[in-house]
Structure 1
Amino acid sequence: MAAELIATTATKSVFRDGEKAIKVFNADFPKADVLNEALITARVEEVGGINVPKVLEVGVFEGKWSITFDFIEGKTLQQLMEENPDKLPDYMEHMVDLHLNILSKQCPLLNKLKDKMSRQILDTEELGDITRYDMRTQLDSMPKHTKLCHGDFNPSNIIVKEDGTMYVLDWVHATQGNASADVARTYLLFCLEDQNKADMYMNLFCKKTGTAKKYVQSWLPIVAAAQLSKKRPEEADLLQQWANVCDYQ
């Protein structure tokens, strides 16, 4: 059976070939980044207790670097939320529980979240020297944890099988660090699409964990500043607004 194109982004295409999913990167995509994604995903697999599509092969597909995974049949949680808006509270509950399961794990060979964010903020020229310095100083003062953080946890990266089992995709941004930083990133990703969902997510996380909302919110300017380094025009305005709120109340 010929491989079928099922998704595309600015940097890659995803094909289905039977029971395999092949992520094919653009010709100019750095080889080191491809190998790093495969390594991170393999390390998360080894943690156990999280449903992750297994890495089967790193190779070349039609002249371009690729990673082959198990194909997971199902719909993204984002699709389900859009198709069944009346079930949003249930979906959000499951999503928060899934996130908490991830954050309960440790993966000591991953890069540290604070180190990665510090580098990202340093590379964010839009903020100016003084703001970057303030952000990195604030980041350095935040509590140091070693929880497994996904780094891009949002409904489009969760596949729900017909029996309800959830698989988490795209671990390339995974690090070890503070759970509230990872939750703050998910909150901001929701904000880019739907403020109601963002608030629902934040409130559920804080309720389930007994975490003060103000503590999670204290990560928002730092996370926004780091996210700006990805230079996505559609995100720039909102992220700059958050990044400029250095003393969030």
Structure 2
Amino acid sequence: MGAELIATTATKMVYRDGDKAIKVFNADFPKAEVLNEALITARVEETGGINVPKVQEVSVFEGKWSITYDFIEGKTLKQLMDENPEKLPEYMDMMVDLHLSIMSKHCPLLNKLKDKMNRQVADMDEFGEASRYDMQTRLDGMPKHTKLCHGDFNPSNIIVTDDQTMYVLDWVHATQGNASADVARTYLLFSLQDKKKADMYIDVFCKKTGTAKKYVQSWLPIVAAAQLSKKRPEEVELLNQWANVFEYQ
């Protein structure tokens, strides 16, 4: 492959080839998950009103599945936040507005967020049967919405171009569900790196939408338990703390 390696994770390598970005997954990565990512992204594309790198091709290269997307030239919002800390309030405002724009959309062919979270909690052997039951009962009682939820909305998944257009990457976890659940997940993702930014994000969201902070926080134990199902060692300690908290002041 005559392309430039631009990113590596535990499950894939990402290359740039001109105006294309090519995700090449590990040889043992499930085919169904690759095809599912391409399908979800295509469905979000078709929803309209969101800047998404378009899927160009799904193929196999040297026995490895790959997805080819449009390459978007720019910097991640995380890079901009790190490079310009004095502009953090402005960037947070932009990020919340982008999140609200996404959640104003509906994509009825996506999986339901509550169904996905219920499966994730059910698979958590780390919790006892009573704890899983309590969490699933709480999840079942939460309001049911059908808003488009990204599922991994964080500054690293937002590309800002030179003309300030924002593109949202990595839609593999997208579902339809409750907006506050998606905000709670963003809060936790921020918290894993920087609690100050996490608090700023939830404050801006609640102010813009008139949502009670306690309502967003009520999703945190469930979202933390679902995130634990990804079994990332560096996240376990903090997520366990949130997963075991059920009341907020």
Q: TM-score, normalised by structure 2?
A: 0.99
**8 Å CA contact 1:157, 1:168 repeated in 2:** yes
Q: Which amino acid aligns with 2:53?
A: P
Aligned-residue identity in percent: 82
Q: Which amino acid aligns with 1:19?
A: D
1:29 & 1:147 partners in 2: Cα distance?
Answer: 29
- Structure 1 runs (4+) greater than 4 angstroms displaced: none
Q: CA deviation at 1:225?
A: 0.6
Q: CA deviation at 1:247?
A: 2.9
Structure 2: segments with no counterpart, 5+ residues = none
2:125 & 2:204 partners in 1: Cα distance?
Answer: 34
**8 Å CA contact 1:110, 1:176 repeated in 2:** yes
1:26 & 1:77 partners in 2: Cα distance?
Answer: 27
Q: Which amino acid aligns with 1:3?
A: A
Q: Which amino acid aligns with 1:100?
A: L
Q: TM-score, normalised by structure 1?
A: 0.99
Cα-to-partner distance string for 1:30-85 (whole Å, 9 max, x where unaligned): 00000000000000000000000000000012321000000000111001111111
- Equivalent position of 1:52 in the other structure: 52
Query: Where does 1:1-249 land on structure 2 (aligned, <5 Å)?
Result: 2-249=2-249
1:84 & 1:96 partners in 2: Cα distance?
Answer: 18
**8 Å CA contact 1:55, 1:69 repeated in 2:** yes
Cα-to-partner distance string for 1:179-217 (whole Å, 9 max, x where unaligned): 000000000000000011000000000000000000000
Moved more, 53-62 or 93-102: 53-62
1:75 & 1:63 partners in 2: Cα distance?
Answer: 32
Q: CA deviation at 1:246?
A: 2.2
Q: Give the secondary structure class of the aligned counterpart of 2:69.
A: strand
1:95 & 1:124 partners in 2: Cα distance?
Answer: 31
1:124 & 1:168 partners in 2: Cα distance?
Answer: 30
1:200 & 1:208 partners in 2: Cα distance?
Answer: 12
Moved more, 44-53 or 61-70: 61-70
2:90 & 2:136 partners in 1: Cα distance?
Answer: 37
Q: Give the secondary structure class of the aligned counterpart of 1:111.
A: coil
2:205 & 2:61 partners in 1: Cα distance?
Answer: 41
The aligned length equals: 249
Q: Which amino acid aligns with 1:17?
A: D
Q: Give the secondary structure class of the aligned counterpart of 1:37.
A: helix
Q: CA deviation at 1:2?
A: 1.9
Q: CA deviation at 1:90?
A: 0.6
Q: Give the secondary structure class of the aligned counterpart of 1:198.
A: helix
**8 Å CA contact 1:181, 1:216 repeated in 2:** yes
Root-mean-square deviation (Å): 0.9
**8 Å CA contact 1:135, 1:246 repeated in 2:** no
Q: CA deviation at 1:128?
A: 1.5
Structure 1: segments with no counterpart, 5+ residues = none
Q: CA deviation at 1:10?
A: 0.4
1:211 & 1:196 partners in 2: Cα distance?
Answer: 20
Q: CA deviation at 1:129?
A: 1.2
